[in-house]
Amino acid sequence: MAIIKSAKKAIRQNKRRRVRNLIYINKIKSLVKQVRTFSFQKKVNEARELLPRIYQILDKAAKVGVIKKNTASRKKSRIAKLLDRNK
């Protein structure tokens, strides 16, 4: 357990940030999972409808620093490639 006042404050800040970051991470995971499920079920149109939402949440997560810019770009690329393969 932290003893120094600044260390205690850092712990409080980390807890708040973790809650905020988990919102983005969980949203990304759930949307990607939905798209993969639709893709494997050959429901490409439903998956394509989710694509703008995924792009939006990935860009926002990269902007606020939850994930890195190249990670967001890589995820978008792989999802697009997956949907193109299952046309």
Q: What is the model's pLDDT at position 86?
A: 80
Closest by CA to 53, choosing from 84, 87, 28, is 28
Q: What is the model's pLDDT at position 1?
A: 83
**Do 8 and 15 contact (CB within 8 A), yes or no?**
no
Instruction: State pTM to two decimals.
Output: 0.87
Ordered per-residue pLDDT tens for the chain, 87 residues: 889 999 999 999 999 999 999 999 999 999 999 999 999 999 989 999 999 999 999 999 999 999 999 999 999 999 999 999 887
Q: What is the model's pLDDT at position 7?
A: 96
